[in-house]
Structure 1
Amino acid sequence: MTDHETTAQATPGEQAPDRRAPRLGDVTTTTVVHRSTRRPTAWWQHAVVLQVRGEADLAGLEALTAEISHVARLGADAIEVHCPGLDPGTEPARGVVEAFVRRAHQRGIKVLVALAGTDAPPQTDAAAWHLARCTAWLHRGIDGIDLISATRPVPPLGPHSHAGIELGALHALIAEHGEDVILTGGGTARDRAALAAHLHEDWLHVTRDDRLVVTPWRPQALRAAITDAYTLRDPVGAPAGWTLATAALSAPAEWGDLDAAALERRHDAAAALMLALPGTAYLHLGEAVGLRQAGDVAAAVRATAAAVAAQKGRADSRFERYRRGLRLRDELRLGTGPVGWIDAPAGTLAFLNREVLVLVNLGVEAVVVPAEREILHASADLPAPVGGEATVPPDTTVWLAMS
């Protein structure tokens, strides 16, 4: 697809389905809200980052080193850990950290370390501690620092200091380590003014926000929220940063009262939506195998590795479904593509990204699509086509080939 308005015709002579149900229309039009990236892109502008929740100690890093293959098998581009209690410049942490970074790099995985200014010990100069700890990590060969939550009050405070972080000094430090080393952070879409100020003043490589889980599960609301992500970021040349952090642990209030099975299905539909959007996507350890990581990092790593071993190779498993989504995202270059909204049946959200039509059924009844439209990926198993028609159940996302 080009960045211009596009139309797609359905095959002539199609028969109407036997039942009355919402149906993907014969003609779809697009309204482009984000244009594809034409210039060469850096890895971080379209990466999938696997975040490890909780504070990792030496045992946690050793477990990750031993089980890094499950990250590589999933297809994530980077792994992010939070290790406030480790000084990587001193033994025994130095050896453990260097082994972890080396092993990840051998598997083609970037390493990001999350460090907040509030991680500093009490009675310590937080800014000096943070800069020294970032320096020690960067000397171990990591690929970036994540400031965790970088949201701050409005009006902006300028690139000097907030939450115990000297941003000016940190930018200079990052620049010393090459253009592929990055500085990232997170904010909340609940405070748009603060997020906008953060984007315009702090100049992080990636700023993720939580809009996919603080927005009601309704087509117009999600369409507006996703459009706004590009409205805020495109003028400053920043990639969108997507995360389902809240939904990975519990049902967001904006999603309504859901039981465990309904939450899992909706979460997977939201994840397939997220992975189809241009920008940087963040997943959590265990998310791709149905585990809600919490508590001890080493135990969570081992549990995730065991789940991967049990699910890999099974086409119907959650792990293989996520793995297929990450592979197609990379092959089809969805991370750097455009977004063009499509007029779609009531209760659905639909857009084009390159040659892929993404359809999310947010309604309460199935949506019919022509069976000859190849389904590249789905967030859940779909019923077998009947009478030349395929159906997409509620709380399901599908990727359809346009050619």
Structure 2
Amino acid sequence: MSSPRDWWRSDVIYQIYPRSFADNDGDGMGDLPGITARLTDLRDLGVDAVWLSPFYKSPQHDAGYDVADYRSVDPRFGDLGDADKMLAEAKQLGLKVIVDLVPNHTSSEHVWFQEALAAAPGSPERERYIFRDGRGADGSEPPNSWTSVFGGPAWERLDDGQWYLHLFDVSQPDLNWGNPEVREEFLSILRFWLDKGVDGFRVDVAHGLIKEATLADWEYAGEILGGLTPEGAPPPPMWDQDGVHEIYRQWRELLNSYEPARILVAEAWVQPADRLARYVRPDEMHQAFNFEYLVTLWGADAIRKVVDRTSSANAAVGAPTTWVLSNHDVVRHASRLGFSDGKDHRNGIGVDDPQPDAALGLRRARAASLQMLGLPGSAYLYQGEELGLPEHTTLPDDFREDPTWERSGHTEPGRDGCRVPIPWEADSPSFGFGPADASWLPQPAAWAEYALDRQRDVPGSTYELYRSTLRLRKEHDLGNGTLSWLDTPADVLAFRNGDILVLTNFGDAPAELPLGSRVLLSSEPLTEDGKVPQDVTVWARA
């Protein structure tokens, strides 16, 4: 079993998207009191910790990832007193709390950026961000060819002629991490929340803080999930620069001064696996999301290869692997896996796009989740996946708020479809999301069937499958286990983790379990003769 100091090696952590989890005051926006009131449900589900996406003061141009004040709570979500109550309730329930930290950029409404706008070129205020003169005879061309991951140019020109870098929205100016004042400020922010009792930080765009010094041109489009280099392209000068590691070593030193253990989690879209593993060396971060696993297409050979490749890279630096299938930036896996066209469907689905097969998607999602939770290491769940929630793929365009929708000229649907408020009670206003019908994004009528109160204590429901899986995972200490593959037909993937056999059948023909196997869990019923149907995962003792 894990010791209290290394809980992060094996725990299951549940992502809360505060806007869409639970609305206490009925204004249609989730809030901290709503989260606090629902923490018991998460304890009962069987997770070990929660991670909250940003709830800081923000104009919300990018759903809170444009932070105006890192030491306050946005009034939409409550106040610092509500944060304290939430932390206290989580501690009482035995749940750890990880909060989001957004260090690559601030909001354009942050006091620092407002000071920079009021100051002259070359001033200390502007040195906190990345300001440059333009190219061309009159400086009217951007300093380089970089594009925003939300679409359009990555530079914005001011009236005085200078340009500032924003790898994301124009309202999210990139900080200059070569400036000692920036580094000291974030150490202070870390201390503020550590002293409040948080158990760690998920670090947004962890691979983006340092830019290549010359800001050299890079003639490739930015990606909404940046960092994965297009085929044939040189290494991107804005992602995964070696200088980021010095920052995280300093942060790790600070976190090591706190007891019990506090952790750093890297959101780093970095390949190959050994480059990502550098973020989780012993003196840097504790976890890094395994996005290569998340984007792997459904198939035995592909999944086995990515599990081997990423696990080996992490093991080489003594780190666990951190598994994930869904989050607030990608199409929910209950919809993503509902396609059989061999394409990557992670980046949003609009009403006019080809639609997933809902039944196939849910069947595969249940199998994929059971497989993931059987792997050694830690795991993250995204709110609502325990209900089998699909993407809202028919969200009316008029409701879209993701900046990528506007900046792409309405060609990229964006991420709103995975951010719709989740259903708790089928027959209540807003499906129990809040006390009123208000919901900041409209909920599909079909979501009534996914509501928690329709699934709790119902044998075979997705919720009960997750609850049983999490209970057995803990009982058998699978997070701290060791994986060994079994020889199987090409369309079957099977491994042992401790005393548990995990088998997934990807093929058309039913697969046989080893002789004498005693089935503990199955994502769908077995055949009458005890075989494993297609797109089904089984946990067994053999």
TM-score (normalizing by structure 2)? 0.60
Structure 2 Cα separation of the partners of residues 216 and 146 of structure 1: 26
Change (3 A) 1:150 1:202: farther
Residue 42 (structure 1) aligns with: 6
State the Cα distance separating 1:79 from its structure 2 match.
0.4
SS at match of 1:215: coil
SS at match of 1:224: helix
Which aligned pairs between 1:1-400 and structure 2 lie closer than 5 A?
A: 42-53=6-17, 59-86=30-57, 93-118=79-104, 120-122=106-108, 123-124=112-113, 125=128, 126=175, 127=182, 128-152=184-208, 153-154=239-240, 156-160=242-246, 166-188=247-269, 190-192=271-273, 194-200=275-281, 203-245=284-326, 246=330, 248=332, 250-251=335-336, 256=342, 258-292=356-390, 299-300=421-422, 303=431, 307-369=451-513, 372-383=516-527, 385-386=528-529, 390-400=530-540
SS at match of 1:176: coil
Question: Which amino acid counterpart does residue 146 of structure 1 have in structure 2?
Answer: R
Structure 2 Cα separation of the partners of residues 254 and 131 of structure 1: 46
Change (3 A) 1:185 1:71: same
Once the two structures are superposed, what CA deviation does each residue of 1:11-69 show, in whole Å capped at 9, x if it has no partner? xxxxxxxxxxxxxxxxxxxxxxxxxx898872111000001236689952111101111
State the Cα distance separating 1:103 from its structure 2 match.
0.8
Change (3 A) 1:292 1:105: farther
Structure 2 Cα separation of the partners of residues 283 and 38 of structure 1: 20
SS at match of 2:322: strand
Judge which range, 130-139 or 77-86, deviates more: 130-139
Judge which range, 222-231 or 189-198, deviates more: 189-198
Question: Which amino acid counterpart does residue 290 of structure 2 have in structure 1?
Answer: D
Judge which range, 206-215 or 190-199, deviates more: 190-199
The one of the two structures with greater contact order (alpha-carbon pairs below 8 A, sep at least 6) is 1
Structure 1 Cα separation of the partners of residues 475 and 492 of structure 2: 26
Judge which range, 186-195 or 99-108, deviates more: 186-195
Once the two structures are superposed, what CA deviation does each residue of 1:212-253 show, in whole Å capped at 9, x if it has no partner? 332232222211111112211112111100000245254168
Alignment RMSD: 3.1
SS at match of 1:42: helix
Judge which range, 185-194 or 339-348, deviates more: 185-194
Is the 8 Å Cα contact of residues 18 and 31 (structure 2) preserved in structure 1?
Answer: no
State the Cα distance separating 1:192 from its structure 2 match.
3.4
Question: Which amino acid counterpart does residue 256 of structure 1 have in structure 2?
Answer: G
State the Cα distance separating 1:80 from its structure 2 match.
0.4
Structure 2 Cα separation of the partners of residues 272 and 299 of structure 1: 24
Is the 8 Å Cα contact of residues 88 and 140 (structure 1) preserved in structure 2?
Answer: no
Once the two structures are superposed, what CA deviation does each residue of 1:68-109 show, in whole Å capped at 9, x if it has no partner? 111111100000002252468558622100111111111111
Is the 8 Å Cα contact of residues 88 and 137 (structure 1) preserved in structure 2?
Answer: no
Q: Which runs of 5+ in 2 are unaligned?
A: 24-28, 58-68, 114-127, 129-174, 176-181, 209-238, 344-355, 392-415, 425-430, 434-449
SS at match of 2:474: helix
State the Cα distance separating 1:372 from its structure 2 match.
4.5
SS at match of 2:376: coil
Residue 11 (structure 1) aligns with: none
Is the 8 Å Cα contact of residues 331 and 418 (structure 2) preserved in structure 1?
Answer: no
Larger Rg: 2
Question: Which amino acid counterpart does residue 300 of structure 1 have in structure 2?
Answer: I
SS at match of 2:457: coil
Change (3 A) 1:130 1:150: same
Is the 8 Å Cα contact of residues 361 and 395 (structure 1) preserved in structure 2?
Answer: yes
State the Cα distance separating 1:281 from its structure 2 match.
0.4
SS at match of 2:56: coil
Judge which range, 185-194 or 113-122, deviates more: 185-194
State the Cα distance separating 1:120 from its structure 2 match.
2.0
State the Cα distance separating 1:394 from its structure 2 match.
0.8
Greater per-residue strand proportion: 1
State the Cα distance separating 1:181 from its structure 2 match.
1.0
State the Cα distance separating 1:292 from its structure 2 match.
4.8
Q: Which runs of 5+ in 1 are unaligned?
A: 1-36, 161-165
Structure 1 Cα separation of the partners of residues 462 and 524 of structure 2: 9
Judge which range, 137-146 or 174-183, deviates more: 174-183
Is the 8 Å Cα contact of residues 189 and 195 (structure 1) preserved in structure 2?
Answer: yes
Question: Which amino acid counterpart does residue 356 of structure 1 have in structure 2?
Answer: I
Structure 2 Cα separation of the partners of residues 277 and 84 of structure 1: 31
Structure 2 Cα separation of the partners of residues 315 and 255 of structure 1: 32
**1:401 and 2:541 matched:** yes
Greater per-residue helix proportion: 1
